[in-house]
Amino acid sequence: MSNQLINQTSPYLLQHANNPVDWHPWTEHALDVARNQNKPILLSIGYAACHWCHVMERESFENDVIAKIMNKHFVCIKVDREERPDLDKIYQIAHQLLTQRPGGWPLTIALTPDGHAPFFAGTYFPAEARYNMPGFGKLLEKIAAHFHENSEKLADYHLSFNQALEKLNPQSSASKIPDPLTALAHASAHLEKQYDSEFGGFGDAPKFPHPTQLELLLVAARHPGLTNLAKQTQSAKTAAEMPAQMVTNTLTHMAQGGLFDHLGGGFFRYSIDRKWQIPHFEKMLYDNAQLLALYCDGYHLFGNAQYAHAAMATAQWVIIDMQQSDGGYASTLDADSEGEEGKYYVWSETDLRAILVENEYSVLENYFGLYGEANFEGSWHFNRNPETDFELLASNPETGDEIERALSAAKSKLLAIRNARIRPGLDHKILTAWNGLMIKGMAKAGRILQQPEFIQSAQIAADFVRDNMWQSGSEEGRMLATCSQGKAHLNGYLDDYAFMLDGLIELLESSWRSADLEFATAICEAMLARFEDRENGGFFFTSHDHEKLLCRQKYGADDAIPSGNGAAILGLLKLGNLLGETKYLNSAETALSLFANDLEHHPSVNSLMTIALQHLGNQHTTVIIRGDGGPNQNAAVQKWKRFCDDQYQPLTHIFAIEKDAKNLPPTLALRKAGKTTVAYVCKGNHCTPAITSLEELKKQFSRDGGTEDSTDSSFAS
């Protein structure tokens, strides 16, 4: 018998639709039932690819005895954290406040029926007492008894809890926006204290990629100002060399280790060990979007072919496994198949020897270091062997071709066998925010790796979002958060607007379409209208007309997903500089002022905002290339664009616009095409006169050190 989740579109909620628990989705009806019956709410938050969510379902939510306890004492509400990040963020913070430790999924929270304040919080609980944890059924009875015994104390509890959450919001202060370069240097120095110099990454096991922090280090590694700062402070290694060392060591170990899928491409969620050998096997769209962009930038700056390979394989995996037939990108691939985590990805030695001929096995054994005891529950999960310099072996004129052919044949055979296995579950719902992240990653991959099909994939996804998730009928436009089974719904969050804005700007850098600029501008206007705090600055996570929740938050720190405020500020600065729109630039600066104290004292925790800070004023450069309209226009424009793109410049953004491009806004239209290809180099609201030759453009780049950190007085408005 099904419960009230049966008509939902979320794959995660549908996984629980036939539990004996009387699950409700989070709706006004369910909240009314709790109030009318004076029952506490048992809120369970998870997602479709969550391994421990599956375990708790099998142990407890499919258990008739425990289900009866839940149904008797609680109104039970199940939430997909990917569809409702507004609820998840609030109650993850609540968990940390109540337990003094980080949360996770499944998240198990007991709420008061009035005000929905949490009075108990935990994560996974076993059905029977073990792991030093109580059995779930007995725990539920104690929670229910506590609620009724303390009902008077809990009556106004939501008011005090709301105040505690409100204090976590950034407060307006007299602090000035910190110096961008100083904040960047401090962030890098702080990350160095957490850095694992042997295996890369930050901290100990479990080890997560932290892509936003690595992106910050890439910016620091290329920033000419840090070299000058190092000379002044006599700390060259800390200020100038360490960012490059930290990011390359981390990228190399992640790409060689088991975090990367060496057969099918893409990255898993995190490593359970310090050495990046064994992952938690789920694949998330948002992780892969950020890592795809990161490895492209790493290849761009350092020229490491291994980074290009990781990026290429990841982008191909996205197109094959994650891009849906309607164009959007799916959310996650489960860690489990056939009820076992990682079963789809691992190999027994017996299987490998049965599939491969002798020389193929020998090369594979050497390449992945398949010696001794298998590394994952009696089977092998592939990691590059750090003791084998395969590139050197492959370059041997006598044996190199044979080794490469054997390895390629072995991988092809294994991938074909793997593709025939029972696959992990795919959460096919399309999330606007995560699609914005992947549009950015695919657009960058197409440009840097010179793969037009990756750019086309991003354009198809952008068109899907515009056609299915964007409602242009209202005065400022509205974004919907999720689409599944052809149904788009749920009021969009700040991340949906900010990540799509940033993704579209990246897409415009890779291939200009005026429709993408129009969409980006419409999103930007709607974001300002719906989310900006016009009095104090910054952006709320939920819109002004969103359902009223326990608290309305402004988040600045990065998590597994970058900060929405950071992405909004970065998008405003990029688009504001491209269009010469001071309204966007002023909003970005006001938001940075609100977070000034956080940027001064915790710049690495607010990495994306620290990156955005670098784009203030003359730090940011926009290059606009215009075609001549002739028959060879595209070839000439692309030659100029290729030169600019080949310079790694994280604070410079290059747009190539054909002469006959339609519907350009006034400021862009002023950057007119000429009788030949021309370029304009702009810092803030000052631009060079039209540059009419590629050699002159090269001189401009050379004179300005790649156009960054320049104060060239020859610029004219």
Q: pLDDT tens digits for 605-659?
A: 999 999 999 999 888 999 999 988 777 778 889 899 999 999 898 999 999 998 8
Instruction: Give the C-alpha separation, 471 to 492, whole Å.
Output: 11
Q: What is the CA radius of gyration of the chain?
A: 26
pLDDT score for 395: 66
Instruction: Give the C-alpha separation, 140 to 443, whole Å.
Output: 49
Q: Are residues 157 and 190 in the same domain?
A: no
Q: What is the mean pLDDT of residues 149-161?
A: 90
How far, CA to CA in Å, does 145 sit from each of 40, 110, 139, 149?
10, 12, 10, 6
pLDDT score for 499: 98
CATH of the domain at 73: 3.40.30.10
pLDDT of 674 strictly over 90: no
pLDDT of 222 strictly over 90: no
CATH of the domain at 643: 3.40.30
SS3 state of residue 713: coil
Q: Is residue 279 part of a domain?
A: yes
Q: Are residues 209 and 290 in the same domain?
A: yes
pLDDT score for 77: 98
Q: Is residue 637 part of a domain?
A: yes
pLDDT of 23 strictly over 90: yes
pLDDT score for 41: 98
pLDDT score for 709: 38
Phi-psi region of 88 (alpha: psi -120 to 50; beta: other; left: phi over 0): alpha
Instruction: Give the C-alpha separation, 567 to 494, whole Å.
Output: 9
Query: End of a domain among 385, 404, 427?
Result: 427
Instruction: Give the C-alpha separation, 282 to 303, whole Å.
Output: 29
Residue 20's contacts (CB-CB under 8 Å, 6 or more residues apart) are: 1, 61, 62, 63, 64, 67, 68, 71
Dihedral of alpha carbons 274, 275, 279, 283, sign: positive
Query: End of a domain among 398, 427, 456?
Result: 427
Instruction: Give the C-alpha separation, 408 to 406, whole Å.
Output: 5
pLDDT score for 710: 34
For residue 454, the Cα-to-chain-centroid distance in whole angstroms is: 18
pLDDT score for 228: 66
How far, CA to CA in Å, does 300 sit from each of 133, 216, 326, 449, 641?
49, 15, 32, 9, 15
The tens digit of pLDDT for each residue in 56-108 reads 999 999 999 999 999 999 999 999 999 999 999 999 999 999 999 999 999 99
pLDDT score for 38: 95
Domain of residue 22, residue span: 11-166
Give the containing element (helix H, strand E) for 29.
helix 28-37
Nearest CA to 579 among 665, 689, 681? 665
Q: Are residues 643 and 692 in the same domain?
A: yes
Instruction: Give the C-alpha separation, 290 to 705, whole Å.
Output: 27
Instruction: Give the C-alpha separation, 281 to 342, whole Å.
Output: 6
The tens digit of pLDDT for each residue in 378-395 reads 999 999 998 777 666 666
Q: Which amino acid, one-letter code, is at 551?
A: C
Q: Are residues 208 and 351 in the same domain?
A: yes
Q: Is residue 587 part of a domain?
A: no
The tens digit of pLDDT for each residue in 169-193 reads 998 876 799 999 999 999 999 999 9
Q: What is the mean pLDDT of residues 137-166?
A: 93
Q: 421: pLDDT confidence band, cut at 50, 70 and 90? A: very high
Q: What is the mean pLDDT of residues 684-692?
A: 88
Query: End of a domain among 427, 443, 459?
Result: 427
Q: Is residue 367 part of a domain?
A: yes
Cis peptide leading into 206, omega within 30 of 0? yes
Q: Are residues 162 and 193 in the same domain?
A: no
Taking a C-beta distance cutoff of 8 angstroms, is the pair 121, 95 a contact?
A: yes
Q: Domains in the chain: how many in total?
A: 3
Q: Is residue 231 part of a domain?
A: yes
Q: Which amino acid, one-letter code, is at 481?
A: A
Q: Which two tokens stand for residue 209?
A: 């990629």
SS3 state of residue 687: strand
Kindly report the pTM of this predicted structure.
0.95
Q: Is residue 493 part of a domain?
A: no
SS3 state of residue 698: helix
Give the rounded percent of residues in the chain with a pLDDT score beyond 90.
83
Q: Are residues 127 and 201 in the same domain?
A: no
Say which DSSP state 104 is in. Answer: -
Q: What is the mean pLDDT of residues 670-697?
A: 90
Q: Which two tokens stand for residue 339?
A: 């009820």
How many other β-carbons are positioned within 10 Å of the β-carbon of residue 502?
26
Q: Are residues 289 and 378 in the same domain?
A: yes
Q: Are residues 158 and 185 in the same domain?
A: no
The tens digit of pLDDT for each residue in 545-573 reads 999 999 999 999 999 999 999 999 999 99
Q: Which two tokens stand for residue 205?
A: 């096991």
pLDDT of 706 strictly over 50: no
Q: Which two tokens stand for residue 594?
A: 């609100």
pLDDT score for 517: 98
Which position has the token pair 């009223």?
548
SS3 state of residue 176: coil
Which position has the token pair 């956080």?
598
pLDDT score for 633: 75
End-to-end CA, the chain: 70
Instruction: Give the C-alpha separation, 85 to 495, whole Å.
Output: 10
Instruction: Give the C-alpha separation, 646 to 273, whole Å.
Output: 36
Q: Is residue 21 part of a domain?
A: yes
Q: Are residues 138 and 203 in the same domain?
A: no
Q: 14-21 contacts: CB < 8 A, separation 24 or more? A: 15/48, 15/57, 16/57, 16/61, 16/78, 19/57, 19/61, 19/62, 19/67, 20/61, 20/62, 20/63, 20/64, 20/67, 20/68, 20/71, 21/61, 21/67, 21/70, 21/71, 21/76
Q: Which amino acid, one-letter code, is at 620?
A: H
pLDDT of 699 strictly over 90: no
Nearest CA to 655 among 663, 666, 644? 644
Give the containing element (helix H, strand E) for 638.
helix 633-646
pLDDT score for 224: 76
Q: Which two tokens stand for residue 489?
A: 């719904």
Q: Are residues 253 and 376 in the same domain?
A: yes
Residue 162's contacts (CB-CB under 8 Å, 6 or more residues apart) are: 115, 117, 550, 551
Give the containing element (helix H, strand E) for 184.
helix 180-194
Q: Are residues 154 and 187 in the same domain?
A: no
Q: Is residue 264 part of a domain?
A: yes
Instruction: Give the C-alpha separation, 174 to 47, whole Å.
Output: 41
Residue ranges of alpha helices (H) inside 532-604 are 564-579, 582-594, 596-601
Q: Are residues 299 and 421 in the same domain?
A: yes
Instruction: Give the C-alpha separation, 618 to 708, whole Å.
Output: 9
